[in-house]
Amino acid sequence: MNLKQINNFLRAVEAGNMTKAAEQLHVSQTALGLQIRNLEAMLGVELLVRHSRGISMTEPGRLLYERGAEIMRLVEEARRDISAFRKTGDRTVSIGLTPSTMRMVGTDFLVTATSDLPGITLRLVEELSFVLMDLLQREEIDFALAYDSSSNQGSMRTALMQETLFFITAPASSFDPGPVPFNEVVASNLALPGDRDNVWHAVHRAAKTSTLPVNVRFTVQSLEAIKTLVERGLATSIVPYGAVKDKVEEGTVVAHRIVDPELKRTLYLFEPPSRLPAAQDKILKSFIDELVATLALRIGDGAQVIGHCGDEPL
């Protein structure tokens, strides 16, 4: 079985009948029919059922169509990637980052990559974790550095960093400095992102385990808007420390540890399983490990590296 046979079979299925497929392939209907019958003979199964309305797939035919479509996609991807080397000498890699990660190490990604990643041009895409998962599924990015996402079906992931979530309030709030029990946190007037966000899931998982209601007063997807609501004393929130570190240092927001239970989230490197390994992957992943170590250091309180995606960090 060769690529031409696979391609002709796919085109016949997609066209829905042999006449239309033969026209698209610029071959005679007889020749196309013979090719598919030869393929069926070679595999020892019937792939297509011919009828008055055209053709339909058998179960083996459906399996061949699914695998064949993937093979042809990979062949095209390989051709495109190799052609890019020929034209520019560099390979462009798209990496998705969350806004908090972009803010803390995005510049380092771009500046350091110039010297540490020869032959690679980085393209950074800033979106929330669940949006990055959608982009990854559509193969619009090559990798995503994202947090626990419920929409990671089919993606390979490597846990890199664990980060504690903090309860934030205005300085003049009724909460004393120091740790705050989880039951008091979820009873406050919370401003949280929507239900596709990793923080929302972490809060509601813990609340479900503790059988506690969550008082969400504001549903806001913008982190900047959430911080403004908290600063003005109109709401409280639950966020990673790195997202409000500057506000805490300015004294406009107070960060409290959450206890009973503590809330954490995990940063993963996601990549689609269908992605073809490339020659520079080893050095690229070691570079990502180094950046994650820098991220954990800059976040400080509550962040720790828990794994590596490369063989060893640089």
Q: Which CATH number fits domain 91-314: 3.90.226.10, 3.30.720.200, 3.40.190.290, 3.30.1220.10?
A: 3.40.190.290
| pLDDT number for residue 181 | 96
| pLDDT number for residue 186 | 96
| pLDDT number for residue 229 | 96
Which architecture does CATH list for 3-86?
Answer: Orthogonal Bundle (1.10)
Distance from C-alpha of 296 to C-alpha of 314, rounded to nearest angstrom:
16
Treating both helix axes as pointing N-terminal to C-terminal, what angle do 3-15 and 29-43 enclose, rounded to 10 degrees?
A: 120
Distance from C-alpha of 19 to C-alpha of 75, rounded to nearest angstrom:
27
Both tokens of 301, joined, read 């309180």
- Domain 3-86 matches domain 91-314 at the CATH topology level: no
In the predicted model, residues of the chain with pLDDT beneath 50 are 87-88, 313-314
Domain boundaries, the chain: 3-86, 91-314
Tens-digit pLDDT profile for residues 148-167: 765 555 568 899 999 999 99
Length of the chain: 314
| pLDDT number for residue 85 | 55
Contact 110, 160 (CB under 8 A): no
| pLDDT number for residue 160 | 94
